[in-house]
Amino acid sequence: MPSLNERNGFTSIPVGFALVVAVLSLVAPTPVAAEPAAKPNIVIIYADDMGYGDLAVQNPESKIPTPHLDRLAREGMRFTDAHSSAALCSPSRYALLTGCYHWRRLQDIVRPFGPPVFEPADVTLPGMLKTQGYRTACIGKWHLGWDWEAIKNRGVERPDQKTGYSADAFDWSKPIPGGPTARGFDYYFGNDVPNFPPYTWFENDRIVGPRPTVPVSPKGPTAEAGWDTWAGPMPKDWDFYTVVPRLTQKTVDWIGEQKGKAGPFFLYVPLNSPHTPIVPVQEFRGRSQAGGYGDWVAQTDDNVGRILQALVDNGLAENTLVIFSSDNGPEAMAYNRIRKFDHRSAGPLRGVKRDLWEGGHRVPMIVRWPGRVKPETVNGELISQVDVVATLAAAVGATLPAESAPDSYNLLPVWTEGAASPRRSIVHNGVNGSYAVRHEEWLLVAAKTGGVNQPPAWFDEENGYKKNEYAGELYDLSQDLGQRRNLYGERADKVAELESLLKQIRVKGQVR
C-alpha cells in the first residue's frame, strides 16, 4: 500500500541513513558545478502568505483557480517537500537572499521603521550575481529594514504605539540608507510592506510620489479580514487597492526594458499578495469560491501570468530560469475558510503561518528552466529556500566566498538531472523561541506544541488532533503527513537522536 506521502503525489524520502552521515553532510555540501555555456536570466516570484493548498495544481479540492501557476508547474518542476526557512515573513526573506538559516540572525519580523537585518559583510544573492555580470532589480515588498535613523528629524518624539511615528518625524526628501540598493540590487521599486508605515512608494533609496502627511486611515471595506494596518503616516489619498496592480505593471515594464540589452538579469519580485489587507480589484471579485481571500489569490495568479507573459512578449522566456514560491504558510484566518468555503489553504498539512507544524513552512515551489529542467515533473525531495543561493551560484558558475551561504546546498543536479537531494535535515524555529528539526522522514518539535497559533477547537476535533501530553512532538511524515499521531512517547531513541542533531546544527552549522 502506498504511503500517505505517495498518495498525495509525494516521492518517498530516502530512509535509513545513519546520523553520522547526516552530520557529515552538513559540513560537506555538494560542490558548485562548472559554469554552463550561457548564463540564464533569473526571475524569483515570491508570494506573501500563500499556502501549500492554495494552488489548484497542488490541491485537487481547491476552490481557487490558479491557471497561470498551474501552467508554470506543468512547464517545470513542482516540489512537494519544499520549505521556507521560517513560518514568518522577514526571516524567510533574509534566508532566501543569504543562504543562511534565519535563526542565526533573527527570529521575528522587522517592525515598522525597524533597522536593516543585514550586516556590511553579508554576501547576498543579488550581490553574488552582480559579480557574474547580472543586472539586478527588486520590485515589491522588501521588509528587511532600512536605516531610518539617518532621516529622522531630531526632537520629534515617537508617539505611543496606537498612533505610530508622526509624518513630521522624518525628512522625506533625504535618501534612506540600508535598503535593497545597499544589498546588491541595482534598482528597487516598491512600498516596503503593504500594511506597515510609511504607506508610500520607494524608488531605489528615496520616497517618490506624494509624501506621507497624515495618519493611516483606510477608506471603505476590504474583501475579507479587515485592514490589518499598523499605525503610521500615509499620503492623504493612499489607495491600497492600487498597490499590487502598480507593482505588477512596474515589473512588466522593467522586463520590457531588458529587451535587447547585453548580459543577463536577475529580477526578484516579492509580491504583496495574498497578504492582508485583502484587496482584490473589482475584476477579480467572485473569481473564486473561497471568498475575498480566494479572489485575492486569483488576482495574484493573474499577476504572475502577466509577468510570465512579459518574458514571452520580449523574447526572454527561453533563456530565463523562473522560481516561484511563498515566504510561509497561510494566515490563521485560513481556519475559517475551511468551515465557510471548504477550502484548505494548507492542503493536507497541519498548521498555519508562525507554526512549527508543516503548514507553517512547507510551501509551494516551482522551478521552470527551458531546456534544463524537465517539464511536468513532480519532485518529492526535501529542499529549502535556503538552498537557492548555492544552487544559483552553481547555475551561473560562481564561486561563493568561504563564509557565505553557510546553510545552503547546491540543488542544481536535483533540478536538472532528477538527482537525490543532498539535503537531509532542516532546522526551523518559531517567534516564541521554540525549535523543530526535520531529518529525512522524521520531524521533532522540541517544544510542548508546534502551534504558535491556537487552532479552533472544532478544527482539532474534526481532524483528530488531541492535546499533547509529552514534552515534545515526534512525527513520521512518510506515514503521517497531517501530523496526527505523536510518537514522542513511543520512540525515545529517535527523540534523542534528533535532539542531538538539532544541537549540532545549531552550534556548528554547515561549513564549506
The per-residue pLDDT string of the chain (512 residues; one tens digit each, 9 = 90 and over) reads 333 333 233 333 333 333 333 333 333 344 444 444 589 999 999 999 999 999 999 999 999 999 999 999 999 999 999 999 999 999 999 999 999 999 999 999 999 999 999 999 999 999 999 999 999 999 999 999 999 999 999 877 666 666 788 889 999 999 999 999 999 999 999 999 999 999 999 999 999 988 999 999 998 899 998 999 999 999 999 999 999 999 999 999 999 999 999 999 999 999 999 999 999 999 999 999 999 999 999 999 999 999 999 999 999 999 999 999 999 999 999 999 999 999 999 999 999 999 999 999 999 999 999 999 999 999 999 999 999 999 999 999 999 998 899 999 999 999 999 999 999 999 999 888 999 999 999 999 999 999 999 999 999 999 999 999 999 999 999 999 999 999 999 999 999 999 999 999 999 865 33
CB atoms under 10 Å from CB of 457, counted, come to 9
State the pairing for strand pair 135-141/206-208. Answer: unpaired
Q: Is 140 left (phi over 0), alpha (psi -120 to 50) or beta?
A: left
Confidence (pLDDT) at 159? 67
- Domain ranges within the chain, ordered by starting residue: 4-11+38-424
pTM equals 0.91
Reduced DSSP (H G I as helix, E B as strand, rest coil) percent helix, strand, coil of the chain, to 5: 30, 15, 55
Instruction: Report how far apart, in Å, the C-alpha atoms of 399 and of each of 35, 44, 54, 184 are.
Output: 10, 21, 37, 17
- Greatest CA separation for the chain: 70
- Give helix 334-341 / helix 291-313 axis angle, nearest 10°: 100
Architecture of the domain whose range is 4-11+38-424: 3-Layer(aba) Sandwich (3.40)
Backbone angles phi, psi at 374, to 5 degrees: -65, 125
- Where b means 16+ CB within 10 Å and e means fewer, 411-429 reads bbbbbbeeeebbbbbbbbb
Confidence (pLDDT) at 8? 34
CA proximity to 440, closest of 503, 359, 380: 380
Confidence (pLDDT) at 17? 31
Confidence (pLDDT) at 106? 93
Confidence (pLDDT) at 25? 37
Q: Tell me the torsion sign for CA atoms 448, 453, 455, 460.
A: negative
DSSP 3-state of 369: coil
Return the C-alpha cell found at 78: 513542482
Return the C-alpha cell found at 305: 501570468
d(C-alpha 358, C-alpha 483), whole Å: 8
d(C-alpha 457, C-alpha 454), whole Å: 9
Return the C-alpha cell found at 308: 510570465
Return the C-alpha cell found at 50: 500563500
Confidence (pLDDT) at 33? 44
- How far is residue 15 CA from its own chain's centroid? 27
Confidence (pLDDT) at 431? 85
- How far is residue 504 CA from its own chain's centroid? 26
Backbone angles phi, psi at 120, to 5 degrees: -55, -35
CB atoms under 10 Å from CB of 267, counted, come to 26
CA proximity to 496, closest of 478, 471, 479, 466: 471
Confidence (pLDDT) at 154? 83
Confidence (pLDDT) at 161? 62
